[in-house]
Structure 1
Amino acid sequence: MKRKVGSFLFLISLILLLTGCWDKKEVEERSYVVAIGLDLPSGLDIEKEQAIDVTFQFSNPKLNVKGVSPSGGEEMKDVVSLTAPDLVSARNMANSFVTREISFTHNKVLIVSEELAKTEIFYRLLTTAFKDREIRRETSIIVTEGMASKFIEKNKPEMMIRPHRYYQFLIDRATETGLVPESTINRFFAITDGDADLFLAMYGSYNKHKDGFQDEDQYIAGQVPKKGGNPVQLIGSAVFKEGKMIGKLSGEETRITRLLDNTSNIRDLFSSFQDPLDKEYKIAVRIKKTRKNKVEVKLRNGPPEINVTYPLDMKILSVPSMVNYAEDIENQKKLKLALEEKLKENAEKLIKKTQKEFKTEPFYWSLYVRPLFSTVKEYETWDWNNKRYPYADIHVTMDLEITGFGKQFRESDIEKVID
């Protein structure tokens, strides 16, 4: 009897081990999508016909085979576009001419045209697509100035032949610099379906605009003065309210937004400021945020009062004016005061813009308002974003700490080097 029970349990264990392989697919049997583009279809009335132009960029499995050398431009040929009712239907329709089973499991980015993002259809399409088990929550959203299909076609990185690696590196590095926001699908729904705060998506462009020279972080995509290389630019952010795009922020404004948001994961930044003691020059700085902002909200009969303490650590990297800041205490005080005033001015300017233009805040300060109410219904009735925030009295206090001045040269040392 014991032997029969043991044999039965052994067979059951084998079945459990083998059940995970019933739907196994080899790499050669699948076409892995690494970028998806969404556009409004031309010539169709989207209010009467549910339709969308979908572009798929596939990863070529031959490029991952050891010993196989890819030919130039081969990867960009694996791009197809079609018109379908929604994203999930487009995948099945594409299999009418794509020989392998299409998979979204390796997709890194969802590229949306600005024209589509400004309609209510985008939120509905993304909501239905999000139910598909292969749509990853960490997929990043990029809003492009022109068509998403052209953004994918014109995106030809010269130093990277594998697009799945390119998009991953591009997004990771861009978010580290703070010039673009963290804009995953998961964050989109968390913010949009939560308190309806402003959601910021990465903003990209393949066009070129000649708007003159500005500081390094005051551009938006398409304005960066560059020559040669990949025409695609990624800087700034598209502003969404209740799932619909309502405006744009520059790279500088995006940085400030992320610094004022305690939920945003930001490392160190590089920027430049006007030298307060010699205004013909600018100093280069490295900014780190090692402490969280302190946000205090006070409820009153009138507009609420918000006090924000804005802590930053800054290291001076370059002083082209040759002003002695490292050894002169008085110069250090003047520099710190000037930097604090400029940082505070930039933050207050952005806050006023969100109050007057967007009527909602992108800093996720609603997290500090909710605990002030005993019930969710009471908080929703109070209506933080639409009725309270636009009229709130907001005070910003800078807490700047200069941690170093880099390597310094005296005038005598410079003269020796020049001679």
Structure 2
Amino acid sequence: MPAVRILVLSLLTLMAVLTAGGCWGSRETDEVAYILSIGLDRGEQDRFLVTISIANPQNIAGAGTGGAGEGGLGSSVIMSVESSAVIPSLNLFDTSVDRQLSLLHTKAYIISEELAREGLHDLLLSLIRYRELRGTALVLVSRGSARDFIEKNKPLLELSPTKQFELIRKLTGNHGLYASTLFQHFYNDLKSLSVEGSTPLVAIREGGRGTAGPASGDGGGHVLGDYEAGEVPITGGNPAQIIGNAVFRGDRMVGVIGGEEARYLLMLQGKFRWGNLVVADPLAAGPAVVSLVVKQAHSPKIRTEIDPEGNVAIDVDIYLEPEIIGIMSGIDYETEENKAVLEETVSFEIQRGCQELIRRTQEEFRSDIIGFGKKVKHHFWTLSAWEEFRWLEHYPEAEVNVTVHSRIRRTGLQLKTMPYRGG
């Protein structure tokens, strides 16, 4: 009997293993249409206007470029429909597409500014449960219609439409002109008691050299990235631009910051890698600038204090390593004396920019997008005590001081600047 029992159990176990290993939900690749990006606008007749960009397998590896609103001749097919919910709208698209739509390769969710300012709570709740949703997809806010952005976005150097969004996610490390946000992080930030959400800002540049002036940051005339999306005066190429960030308080968008302010945001968060910086030449007699590549040496040191009355004081020390790449005036900044003057100038400019960003987040936005609350909550022993403190309500009254430490370690390809002798 024991031998029979063992044999029966072995057979049942073998059958369970064989059946469990089956791929019952498999689909052939030529039966699936992969959605590369989704645009979300406020609908006219229904709640949402949903726009999707579908990969076109016929042209995605060939000469097809950009999207195709009609006929599907590009590397992607663009379609729109109005619906009361986002995921159920996929069934409406299936009435016109002969393949089953899938979100497994969706790289970006583009939300219109109008929709973002109304609130995203209901929208996110309708998406987060879906099994095919990728938490690693980008979340972008479009100045203007998300549908227009998807239709007019023409990446000229990429055959694969997905490659553009993958590069957008990584490219911020090379300049810091926007802080990229993944869907899973954005959703968590909107629920957090320690930090508020922010997303990159995108727009379509209308006209030859842009239709708006620089952003309203306090950086002077030498600030390189003092623009918002759609304002950078570029001629030619792809009209789509991504620079700056949308700022949220709760689930509602409450404002925007420009590209230079996005750099300060990343520096305060310790996520800034490097980027080009232009500062006024402190020793030049006339108007001149010094160009540098700035790298964040290591994460900032953040110290927080709470007095018995509940007042919060925050001190932030940022450490940077600039490298000189261009001197218009010809002044020898390789000497220790002149180098110290330039280091002080860089520290002053960035410190002023960081303080101005903090002022805007406290007075204008009333939103802790930097995430100081993650440090402040360490003063509380229990979650209930932290919840009762209501940090996001205290943040606008917190005292925040920033100190920037700059040390120039490299001077480019020149060890010494020789005076120019005109002939």
Partner of 2:362: 355
1:157–1:12 CA distance, 2 compared to 1 (3 A): same
68-77 or 271-280: which moved more?
68-77
Greater CA deviation, 127-136 or 175-184? 175-184
Change (3 A) 1:373 1:25: same
Provide, for residues 309-354 of structure 1, a one-character-per-residue CA deviation record: whole Å limited to 9, x for no partner.
Answer: 111121111112111011x221112111121111111111111111
Contact 2:195 2:374 in 1 (8 A): no
- What amino acid sits opposite 1:180 in the alignment? Y
SS at match of 1:156: coil
Distance 1:14 1:394, change over 3 A: closer
Task: Give the distance between the partners of 1:16 and 1:190, measured in 2 at CA.
Answer: 34
Give the corresponding residue for 1:181.
179
Offset at 1:303?
A: 2.8
The residue correspondences of 1:236-385 to structure 2 (distance < 5 A) are 236-262=244-270, 265-278=271-284, 280-300=287-307, 301=309, 303-326=311-334, 328-385=335-392
Query: What's the offset of the Cα at 1:258?
Result: 1.1
Task: Provide the C-alpha distance between the structure 2 equivalents of 1:36 and 1:215, rounded to a whole number of angstroms.
Answer: 34
Q: What's 1:37 paired with?
A: 39
Q: 2: CA distance between counterparts of 1:233 and 1:131?
A: 31
Output aligned runs, 1:97-246, within 5 Å: 97-120=96-119, 122-174=120-172, 176-195=174-193, 197-207=195-205, 208-211=210-213, 215-246=223-254
Q: Does 1:62 align with 2:61?
A: no
Cα deviation per residue 1:127-164 (whole Å; 9 max; x = unaligned)? Answer: 21111011111111111111111100101122223211
Q: Does 1:27 align with 2:29?
A: yes
Query: Residues 30-73 of structure 1: CA distance to partner in whole angstroms, max 9, x if unpaired?
Result: 1100010000112x4xxxx6x200001001122456xx654886
Change (3 A) 1:126 1:11: closer
- The structure where helix makes up a greater share of residues is 1
Q: SS at the partner of 2:290?
A: strand
Tell me the distance in 2 between the aligned counterparts of 1:338 and 1:268: 18
Instruction: Give 2:88's aligned amino acid.
Output: S
Gap change, CA 1:104 and 1:94, over 3 Å in 2: same
DSSP-derived class of the 2:181 partner = coil
Q: Secondary structure at the residue paired with 2:98?
A: coil
CA shift in 2, pair 1:313/1:399, >3 Å:
same
One-letter code aligned to 1:149: R
Contact residue 65 and residue 159 of structure 2 kept, 8 A: no
In the other structure, the counterpart of 1:403 is: 409
2:409 is paired with a residue whose SS is strand
Q: CA deviation at 1:113?
A: 0.7
Deviates more, 1:402-411 or 1:179-188: 402-411
Asked if 2 retains the 8 angstrom alpha-carbon contact of 1:140 and 1:184, the reply is yes
Query: Structure 2: any 5+ residue segments left out of the alignment?
Result: 215-220
Structure 1 segments unaligned to the other structure (5+ residues): none
Distance 1:218 1:366, change over 3 A: same
The one-letter amino acid of 1:336's match is E
Contact 2:194 2:374 in 1 (8 A): no
Structure 1 distance, partners of 2:186, 2:156, is 31
Q: Could you say if the C-alpha distance between residues 306 and 219 of structure 1 is closer, same or farther in structure 2, counting changes exceeding 3 Å?
A: same
Q: Pick which of 88-97 and 196-205 moved more.
A: 196-205
How has the CA–CA distance of structure 1 residues 218 and 62 changed in structure 2, closer, same or farther, with 3 Å as cutoff?
same
* Segment of structure 1 superposing worse, 74-83 or 26-35: 74-83
**CA deviation profile, 1:61-98 (whole Å, cap 9, x unmatched):** 22456xx6548862266100000111111111111111
CA distance in 1, matches of 2:152, 2:222: 26
Task: Please name the residue that 1:75 is paired with.
Answer: 74
1:391 maps to 397
Distance in 2 separating the partners of 1:150 and 1:76: 17
Q: Which residue of 1 aligns with 2:218?
A: none
Amino acid of the residue matched to residue 159 of structure 2? I
* CA–CA distance in structure 2, aligned partners of residues 77 and 8 of structure 1: 48
Which segment drifts farther, 272-281 or 146-155? 272-281
Amino acid at match of 1:142: L
Residue type of the alignment partner of 1:81 = S
SS at match of 1:88: coil
Match of 2:83 in 1: 84
**Quick check: 1:285–1:316 contact (8 Å CA) kept in 2?**
yes
Q: CA deviation at 1:398?
A: 1.7
**69 and 332 in structure 1: CA distance in 2 versus 1, 3 angstrom threshold:** closer
Q: Secondary structure at the match of 1:398?
A: strand
The number of residue pairs the alignment matches comes to: 401
Q: Which moved more, 1:249-258 or 1:341-350?
A: 341-350
Alpha carbons 1:123, 1:243 under 8 Å: kept: yes
Among all aligned residue pairs of Structure 1 and Structure 2, give the percentage whose two residues are the same amino acid. Answer: 26
Compared with structure 1, are the counterparts of its residues 321 and 305 closer, same or farther at alpha carbon in structure 2 (3 Å cutoff)? same
TM-score, structure 1 as length reference = 0.89
List per-residue Cα deviations over 1:85-116 (Å, max 9, x = no partner).
11111111111111100000000000111111
Q: Is residue 76–residue 153 contact of structure 1 (8 Å, CA) maintained in 2?
A: no
Match of 1:53 in 2: 49
CA RMSD of aligned residues (A): 2.3
**Secondary structure of the residue that 1:297 maps to in structure 2?**
strand
